Amino acid sequence: MGLTLYKKDTSPPSRSVFMTIHALNIPDVKFIDVYLPAGEHLTEEYIKMNPQHTVPLLIDDDFLIWDSKSNLHLLFQMPLLYQGANGFKEEHLGMIDAAYDFMEKFLTAPWLAGDDVTLADICCVSTISSMNEIRPIDKET
């Protein structure tokens, strides 16, 4: 059974999930536009699915996730699930290596945005530490 994404095209967190679905070529996703100005996110039915009444909302069978960052983490692992593999394919592990290489080039200062730790660092660390569980960043380990 495919995924369902409730989204709004002008919502940045919706777009990050939408873009990730496309980048990972995840098939059979049903997209449902939620028109916030009309209060479509405030209906009893929607609030039952997402008490935070926000978009995006991703549904995977009975699993409802309304936090975009958590959605991205889930989606990142989907090529494995959707292609019926029982281990990560080398091409997917290569994508993680490419992301590490990009970060190495991009990180020219101790923190991502300025002289102090910011939410950008926390978001980045959460993604990299998740990837590290799949492909250790230190190739010696």
Ligand X SMILES: N[C@@H](CCC(=O)N[C@@H](CS)C(=O)NCC(=O)O)C(=O)O
Which of 12/87 has CB closer to ligand X?
Answer: 12
CB of 39 to ligand X, least distance (A): 9
Whole-angstrom distance, CA of residue 106 vs CA of residue 140: 23
- Tell me the closest approach of the beta carbon of residue 35 to ligand X, in angstroms: 11
CA dist., res. 111 & res. 115, Å (int): 6
**Among residues 3, 13, 92, 131, the one that binds ligand X under rule CB under 6 A:** 13
Q: How would you list the strands of the sheet with 63-65, edge to edge?
A: 30-33, 3-7, 57-60, 63-65
Q: By C-beta, is 20 or 68 nearer to ligand X?
A: 68
Helix (H) or strand (E) holding 19: helix 12-23
Pattern of binders to ligand X over 74-113, x per CB under 6 A? ----------------------------------------
Q: At its nearest, how many Å lie between ligand X and the CB of residue 13?
A: 4
Instruction: Please answer whether residues 70 and 82 qualify as being in contact, where contact means their C-beta atoms are separated by less than 8 angstroms.
Output: no
Residue 41 interacting with ligand X (CB under 6 A): yes
- Contact at 8 Å (CB) between 50 and 5? no
Contact 59, 4 (CB under 8 A): yes
The site map against ligand X for 47-76 (x = CB under 6 A) is: ------xxxx----------xx--------
